[in-house]
Amino acid sequence: MGRLAQTDGLTEIQRDILATVRDFVDKEIIPVATELEHKDEYPTAIVEGMKQLGLFGLTIPEEFGGLGESLLTYALVVEEIARGWMSVSGIVNTHFIVAHMINAHGTQEQKEYFLPRMAAGEIRGAFSMSEPGLGSDVAAISTKGVKDGDEYVLNGQKMWLTNGGTSTLVAVLCKTDEGGSTPYKNMTTFLIEKTPGFGPNPTVPGLTVPGKIEKMGYKGVDTTELVLQDVRIPANRVLGGVTGKGFYQMMDGVEVGRVNVAARGCGVARRAFELGISYAQQRSTFGKKICEHQAIQFKLAEMATKVEAAHQMMVMAARKKDSGERNDLEAGMAKYLASEYCKEVVEDSFRIHGGYGFSKEYEIERLYREAPMLLIGEGTAEIQKMIVGRRLLEEYRLAE
């Protein structure tokens, strides 16, 4: 492990977990990632390995069978996994968000029913806010849940579900219109259990996962639509048991998800730096190694500075949340900075590779197609800046 992206003040347990994950990434993920990604193949063996390491239950409390670790531990694990292959971190992330939402907002029955099996990786979570007509503007959702006796009847179409096919539990945000005073208070999260796979779901009448969306990168992990036609869900599968709280529950999930996306950016950027500094010491032009040209050294210096800065900001945002403080400002900043820096570091590494960076034989080609997703997922750069800007005006408001 190199000098960059170190984290001060970790416990022995955190250091042990990270060493184990780093070893797993070097041995089980990096050697196969590019080949699986090019084939758009789901990494079944890697997922089994992560189950055995207990990674699906990393943050689930010990009383529900998890390891009870902090957001910081989780983020550092994600950074290591993304260094190996970003898609694998995507497989854990929606699971982690749904487990966080159930743990923070679920009824006791929901926690006891879902969390132990989520910790074991038997139930795997996906989360669904976006629709074909909206992503940033969550208040505009049109998928609807209408009460009918002890059940809700759900109708609508969802878009961009990471793990939409492979998951067995989807947290779905719907409009419920049960008298809330604003659109935000008329949304509800439903916990829908389903069988994995594509097409009409055999266990949930009316639920269809049409198929995988073809993407430029972030392959291997499935991203799907979700169609709901008169899907009947028992009222006890409303997250937290009370309607009208869905928007706030989802935003809480997205907030921890943002630290996670920042961590992914850190991991991908670190790998791009490693590839760049290694290649720069092997390739010669004009009679010397390219790393001896000052222009390339400057590039490496800029890349390393960005890797370090993004890591430290991501760690700060995770620690803020772990301390119980509001961290929307820091999470927004970390996500914005880490995703932008990741794109820049990957591009510089790609340039250092010259023509070979364009070849599918070189890992940087995959990273180049992966980095842009981080600019969009869990809220675009513009949305992060809106959040950060609003919070700054709260903090620095002039006295009237």
Q: Which is nearer to ligand FAD, 139 or 301 (CB)?
A: 139
Catalytic residues: 378
Token pair 């820096």: residue: 341
d(CA 357, CA 156): 43
Under the binding rule (CB under 6 A), the answer on residue 165 touching ligand FAD is no
Given candidates 218, 279, 341, 350, which one binds ligand FAD under the rule CB under 6 A?
218
Query: How many residues bind ligand FAD, per CB under 6 A?
Result: 22
Beta strands in the chain (DSSP E): 125-128, 144-148, 151-162, 169-175, 187-193, 199-200, 207-209, 223-234, 284-285, 288-289
Select the span of 104-112, 156-164, 271-279, 294-302 touching ligand FAD (CB under 6 A): 156-164
Under the binding rule (CB under 6 A), the answer on residue 336 touching ligand FAD is no
Q: Give the N- to C-terminal CA distance of the chain in Å, as an integer.
A: 53
Under the binding rule (CB under 6 A), the answer on residue 129 touching ligand FAD is yes
Select the span of 58-66, 304-312, 321-329, 377-385 touching ligand FAD (CB under 6 A): 377-385
Under the binding rule (CB under 6 A), the answer on residue 157 touching ligand FAD is no
Question: For 194, phi and psi rounded to 5 degrees?
Answer: -150, 170
Query: Rounded to the nearest whole angstrom, what is the least distance from the CB of residue 137 to ligand FAD in the complex?
Result: 6
d(CA 126, CA 159): 12
Query: C-alpha distances in angstroms, 292 versus 3, 21, 277, 297?
Result: 21, 34, 11, 7
Given candidates 59, 87, 143, 162, which one binds ligand FAD under the rule CB under 6 A?
162
Under the binding rule (CB under 6 A), the answer on residue 160 touching ligand FAD is yes
Sign of CA dihedral 210, 211, 213, 218: positive
Given candidates 94, 166, 224, 243, which one binds ligand FAD under the rule CB under 6 A?
94
For 325, the 3-state DSSP assignment is: coil
Residues that bind ligand FAD (CB under 6 A): 94, 127-130, 134-137, 160-162, 215, 218, 223, 373, 376-377, 379-380, 382-383
